[in-house]
Amino acid sequence: MRQILVAGNWKLNGSRKDIVGLIGRILAGAGDTGDTRIAVCPPFVYIPLVSELLSGSKIAYGSQDVSDQESGAFTGEVSGPMLTDFGCSYAIVGHSERRALYAEDDAFTARKFAAARRAGLTPILCVGESLEERDAGITEDVVARQLDAVIDLEGIAALGDAVIAYEPVWAIGTGKTASPQQAQDVHAFIRGKLAGLDKGVADKVQILYGGSVKGSNAAELFAMQDIDGGLIGGASLQADDFLAICRA
Ligand code: PEP
């Protein structure tokens, strides 16, 4: 039985004051979220603050990105070892905003995935198709290509202790959620593809859904057989919404 994970991706949002308030409200309301594992991914600069605020709680935290490099002349980068130094458990890699806005391709994403693992972080590997790709009927090809880049570099076993987030690009921040069946179909495809290479990895890997998840639609998404929780953007900035998703 795979554990449910709900991870909040705060993106480029928040201030010291907002974060103190948000974490305070999440901690106050997280008592009835059962076995769900909860994580938040703040902007890099707020990771030490979040680490302090979450100290002693069961809520995990991670980064929204990670460098493919460990150290050296790479201005502006933040490495995996720096993140583990501050207690991060997770690193999101290959978010569609990184892919689309910062031209991060499959191979680069795979190197970031590898760097996260080398540092002892659990990568949350984002995959997903654009609306044009869905309309062209190539959703599975796109997702397979994104997964293959990681499998080719790191091997299938590397996915066994990672998290995959299926995030259709057309559903991110748009208010348009994939239907539970649309999401389940892609999750089942992902698990089936991995099972073709290693059944143990396929059974173990957590596959999250991301794309306009809210308190009102989380339960039906998370009830699907191959959906093991969610990667939450907008709704993770409001404690009540985020907690409603965690309870779902
Ligand atoms: C995301 O950015 O990973 C995401 C799923 O965003 P939203 O929940 O706002 O669609």
Any alpha helices (H) in the chain, and if so which ranges? 16-29, 47-54, 80-85, 96-101, 106-118, 131-135, 139-154, 180-195, 199-204, 215-222, 239-247
Atom of ligand 1 nearest to the CA of 212: 10
Query: 9 lies in a domain?
Result: no
Residue 245 has pLDDT above 80, yes or no: yes
Report in angstroms the alpha-carbon separations of 118 from 81, 91, 105, 179: 9, 12, 20, 36
Instruction: Tell me the residue range of the domain where 189 lies.
Output: 59-229
Residue 1 has pLDDT above 80, yes or no: no
Query: 100 lies in a domain?
Result: yes
Query: 40 lies in a domain?
Result: no
Distance 174 CA to ligand 1 centre (A): 9
Query: 51 lies in a domain?
Result: no
**Catalytic residue positions, numbered:** 95, 167
Per-residue pLDDT of 29-49, as tens digits, reads: 998 888 999 999 999 999 999
Nearest-CA residue for atom 7 of ligand 1 = 233
3-class state of residue 59 by DSSP:
coil
Distance 72 CA to ligand 1 centre (A): 32
Residue 91 has pLDDT above 80, yes or no: yes
Q: Could you tell me if 234 and 228 are in contact, meaning their C-beta atoms sit under 8 angstroms apart?
A: no
Query: Could you tell me the pTM of the whole model?
Result: 0.97
Specify the amino acid at residue 237. L
Supply 242's token pair. Answer: 């985020």
Q: Which residue has the tokens 């404690």?
A: 239
Query: 191 lies in a domain?
Result: yes
**Cβ 167 under 6 angstroms from ligand 1:** yes
Cα–Cα distance, 143 to 25 (Å, whole number): 36
**Cβ 229 under 6 angstroms from ligand 1:** no
Per-residue pLDDT of 96-128, as tens digits, reads: 999 999 999 999 999 999 999 999 999 999 999
Structural domain count, the chain: 1
Region 134-163: what's the mean pLDDT? 97
* Helix H or strand E encompassing 220: helix 215-222
CATH of the domain at 98: 3.20.20.70
Cα–Cα distance, 127 to 191 (Å, whole number): 13
Query: 2 lies in a domain?
Result: no
**Cβ 241 under 6 angstroms from ligand 1:** no
Distance 96 CA to ligand 1 centre (A): 10
Query: 170 lies in a domain?
Result: yes
Any alpha helices (H) in 47-118, and if so which ranges? 47-54, 80-85, 96-101, 106-118
Query: 144 lies in a domain?
Result: yes
